[in-house]
Chains A and B, each alone.
Chain A
Amino acid sequence: MSVTVRPGGRPGGRQSGGRAGSTGDRVLFGLCAFAGLVAIVVLAEVIYQVISGASPAISRFGLGFIWHTAWKPNLFVFGAGEMLEATLVTSFMALILAAPLGIAIGLFLSMLAPRRVRTVIGPLVEMLAAIPSVVLGLWGVIVLAPFVQSTIEPFLHSVLGFIPIFGPPQTTGLSVFTAGLVLTIMVVPIIASLSRDLFLAVPRELQDGAEALGATRWEVIRGVVLPTTTSGVIAACLLGLGRALGEAVAVALVIGGGSTIHSSVFDPGTSAAARIINEIESLDNKLHLDSLFYLALILLVIGVLTNLAAQAIARSVGGQQAMLIR
């Protein structure tokens, strides 16, 4: 199903005349170059607008904004600490749950499932990513949260309650934990489809060789498939993490909107992106907007860094990064 793309010799330059062709050639080149330039300008503009929007807040709070925890718009006091903590906790929880699930699904789709099963299950898993985040949020609030509150949280509290992370459940089920679960649902299909493509690209001869030596299915996976794709899989997980870090609406709906740092993941919180969604329409003052821009800037930096890290890791083995972006 999936076709490995081997970019051969670049077709450009095949005409000895190069760019000095007819008017049509020049127009086409102009349009294409313009479009490429637009992409670069748009990215630069995103960075510029977010930095310039945040600059009043940056000059007022400095880097302390990142770890200060008070957020009192009416008193002109802003700090992102609690939100970034909630962002990191929900995203890493999603990553910890989604990485093994996604990799297992990738293995299933690439190595274990018969072709017919694969062509049905693969698209279904990808369709999970197509469910709009606001719909997933609605489902999270009304269906998932009560279930989490009545079943999962009491169970985890009774078994693992000695760890302060798993404190007593709250009344609504809208919590950091529920937000992490919703993010998991969003991240699993990303990791699954990326890692499936990586596993499919593992040379068949290596697997056949291991099987000829008597390796079982799992030994082929552990000894051949996973080692040759490690960096790509890590990159896939980072891309999934980036998605989770920036997700706004679904998290805003299910995380519950608390405003202090709690040790327990069963308490409500607010992530950075959720704070933006909740407050952008009810601004108290100009500094409030500037601080939201500052939050967006932090999300921008995190997003760019995770993406660059994913690229660097994928490129470190070479050849695989082309598979990573669909």
Chain B
Amino acid sequence: MSALSGLDPDAAEPERTSGVPDPTAPLTATGNLRRRLAVSRVLEIAAVAAAVLAVGVFFFVVYAVAERGLGAISFHFLTSDPNLVDVGAGGIAPAIVGSAIIVALATAIAMPLGVLIALFLIEYAGNSTGRVVRLVLDLMNGLPTVVVAFMVYGLIVLGTKTESGYAASIALAIIMLPLIARSSHQVLLLVPGSLREAADALGVSRWRTVVGVILPSALGGIVTATILAAARAAGESAPLIILDSLVIGEVVHINPLHGLAAMPLTVFNYLETGTPAAVSQAWGTALVLMALILAANVGARVFLARNRSRLGL
């Protein structure tokens, strides 16, 4: 058995020769066992150190952004338009509104499609069809975001000759789709079979079972998956730079058929500008963006945990 291959072949040997073990000997490891325990201990500590390092980097990044961003943030910063003359005196209201619109539109496209795909996998797809759809989702999930953005660029921007918020929304929707579909699929698999059987026994038709029983009991997980995907999309910057960056964004716009300002774009552009005032604005925007995304992540996890304990999963 391969389980034994990892064991030290010498391990069984030491101090056997004396025959009867000394019953008064203290129960401490000696010799070879001591070495093996030491090796194990060292590697356990290394694993703990790796975890501490990752968590440390996380907190260090969060701290660095918070430390530099807090100075820039004020009510004025959040609610006013950028000031093109005196950059440091401006705000990021158009970027907040634009980000919200772009992500909301992307979610509105991706969530229904994602849930329907998950339902298709659960309810209808045969073995081979299901395999094809799952493979397609996995490949979509593995596409670099710049590639997705180029698809939309070829499809929309080259045709209309303008960059726009809705082009960015479509790219973000394509990025979100596999995330929502895969997670919803996993959640739907967890719906207890007894619920279906109860509905069947009552003679409920399939679509009523799906709409009235299966989807409601999976709703918590689906909402969580959607929030996580939306949070991921809100932080994406490559599609925005490729599809929606010819924006001045001096005032709040809400029409996604035109260019919309967005927070990741604002961070990128202010950083490229490079003056101290602009970089300070970039930190402020980065803090707002990161705080929103991390809050969405924490919220989704808490929501899922409560939902799970309610369902007794």
Bound together: yes
Taken together as a complex, chains A and B put the C-alpha atoms of A206 and B4 apart, in Å, by: 10
Taken together as a complex, chains A and B put the C-alpha atoms of A166 and B273 apart, in Å, by: 31
User: Which of A57-65, A157-165, A259-267, A299-307 contacts the other chain?
Assistant: A299-307
Cβ B51 vs Cβ A125 within 8 A: yes
Interfacial chain A residues near B124, Cβ < 8 Å = 12, 29, 32-33
Interfacial chain A residues near B150, Cβ < 8 Å = 49-50, 53, 276, 292-293, 296
Cβ A249 vs Cβ B40 within 8 A: no
Taken together as a complex, chains A and B put the C-alpha atoms of A245 and B113 apart, in Å, by: 28
Cβ-defined partner of B58 (8 Å) among A125, A214, A306: A125
Interfacial chain B residues near A46, Cβ < 8 Å = 140, 143, 147-148, 151, 174
A22-B205, A33-B120 as given contacts; A107 in contact with B268, CB under 8 Å: no
Cβ A135 vs Cβ B286 within 8 A: yes
Cβ B138 vs Cβ A307 within 8 A: yes
Q: Which residue of A lies closest to B242 (CB)?
A: A280
- In the complex, per-residue mask of B110-135: 1 if CB is within 8 Å of any chain A CB, else 0: 00111011011111111101001101
Cβ A21 vs Cβ B146 within 8 A: no
Taken together as a complex, chains A and B put the C-alpha atoms of A121 and B111 apart, in Å, by: 29
Cβ A253 vs Cβ B271 within 8 A: yes
Q: Which residue of A lies closest to B297 (CB)?
A: A130
- The total of chain B residues at the interface (CB under 8 A) is 113
Cβ A219 vs Cβ B6 within 8 A: yes
Cβ A300 vs Cβ B144 within 8 A: yes
Q: Is there a chain B Cβ closer than 8 Å to A145's Cβ?
A: no
Interfacial chain B residues near A293, Cβ < 8 Å = 150, 154
The A207-260 residues at the B interface (CB cut-off 8 A) are: 209-210, 213-224, 227, 239, 242, 245-249, 253
Q: Is there a chain B Cβ closer than 8 Å to A128's Cβ?
A: yes
Cβ B207 vs Cβ A25 within 8 A: yes
Interfacial chain A residues near B4, Cβ < 8 Å = 210, 213, 223
Cβ A296 vs Cβ B238 within 8 A: no
The B47-77 residues at the A interface (CB cut-off 8 A) are: 47-51, 53-55, 57-58, 61-62, 64-65, 68
A134-B235, A216-B36 as given contacts; A210 in contact with B113, CB under 8 Å: no
Cβ A219 vs Cβ B264 within 8 A: no
- Extra contacts, 7 of them, besides A133-B236, A246-B144, A249-B268 (Cβ < 8 A), are A32-B124, A36-B133, A112-B47, A112-B48, A242-B142, A248-B238, A300-B143
Sample of 29 A–B contacts (CB below 8 Å) = A5-B190, A14-B196, A25-B205, A32-B116, A39-B178, A39-B181, A43-B136, A113-B51, A121-B55, A123-B297, A125-B51, A127-B298, A131-B58, A131-B294, A132-B293, A135-B65, A215-B6, A219-B36, A223-B7, A239-B142, A248-B146, A249-B238, A276-B146, A277-B241, A281-B241, A296-B147, A299-B144, A310-B142, A326-B186
